[in-house]
Amino acid sequence: MHWTEVKVKRQAQPVYPPSAQAMHMEGSCTLRFVIDERGVPTSVTPAACPAPFQESAVAAGSQWRFYPMKVNGVAQPATFQLVIHFRLSE
């Protein structure tokens, strides 16, 4: 499924890991989502993510909710990837 087909209903912000913040580290995490027919994540795993950000990214991604993916009007489970960015504020 292409990410442009994914509609986010509720997005939780990740907590910036203190260890990464102390090192002035920024990064991006690609997460692999599997959602059920209600749009609830049943699996969130890092596909590409620097180690200091993995736990926070997965915890936030697990709280996200999506509008169900539909095929011919019927809600279906879906698998896709999204990116979460960790940026230090100025």
Per DSSP, the residues of 16-55 read PPHHHHHTT--EEEEEEEEE-TTS-EEEEEEEE--HHHHH
Predicted model pTM: 0.88
What lies within 8 Å, CB to CB, of 45 at 6+ separation is 31, 32, 58
Distance in angstroms (rounded) separating the CA atoms of residues 12 and 2: 21
Per-residue confidence band for 73, with pLDDT thresholds at 50, 70 and 90: confident
Per-residue confidence band for 2, with pLDDT thresholds at 50, 70 and 90: very low
Amino acid at 47: A
% of the chain beyond a pLDDT of 90: 82
Residue-range domains of the chain with CATH: 3-85 (3.30.2420.10)
CA dihedral 9, 90, 19, 31 (to 10 degrees): 30
The enclosing H or E element of 84 equals strand 78-86
